[in-house]
């Protein structure tokens, strides 16, 4: 079992795992000196997981978590 699976646990629901994966990503980005502007931003076209600001950058982050590639990898899940 990998680090992310250890952090997320096996008993979590899909949406709970998604929230936990987003928290892991947020923690990593904050360690890279990025500042959270908005989390789970919703608009008429959908949702942006995280909006972060770093020196001279505004970054939009989409979090995709997969334990197995049964239904495709994270990149393949994007529209």
Between residues 33 and 20, the one the model is more confident about: 33
Strand order in the sheet with 46-54: 35-43, 46-54, 57-61
pLDDT at 47: 87
DSSP 11: S
Q: Helices (DSSP H) in 1-79: which residue ranges? A: 3-8, 14-31
State the Cα torsion 79-34-68-46 to the nearest 10°.
-30
Residue 18 pLDDT greater than 70, yes or no: yes
Q: Is the pTM of the predicted complex or chain greater than 0.85?
A: no
Residue 5: pLDDT band (50, 70, 90) is: low
Instruction: Decide: 49 and 40 in contact? Cβ < 8 Å.
Output: yes
């Amino acid at each position: 079992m990998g680090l992310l699976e250890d952090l997320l646990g096996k008993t979590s629901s899909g949406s709970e795992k998604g929230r936990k994966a987003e928290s892991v990503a947020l923690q990593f980005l904050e360690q890279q000196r990025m500042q959270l502007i908005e989390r789970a931003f919703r608009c008429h076209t959908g949702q942006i997981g995280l909006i972060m600001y770093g020196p001279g950058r505004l970054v939009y982050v989409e979090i995709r978590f997969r334990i197995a590639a049964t239904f495709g990898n994270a990149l393949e899940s994007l529209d």
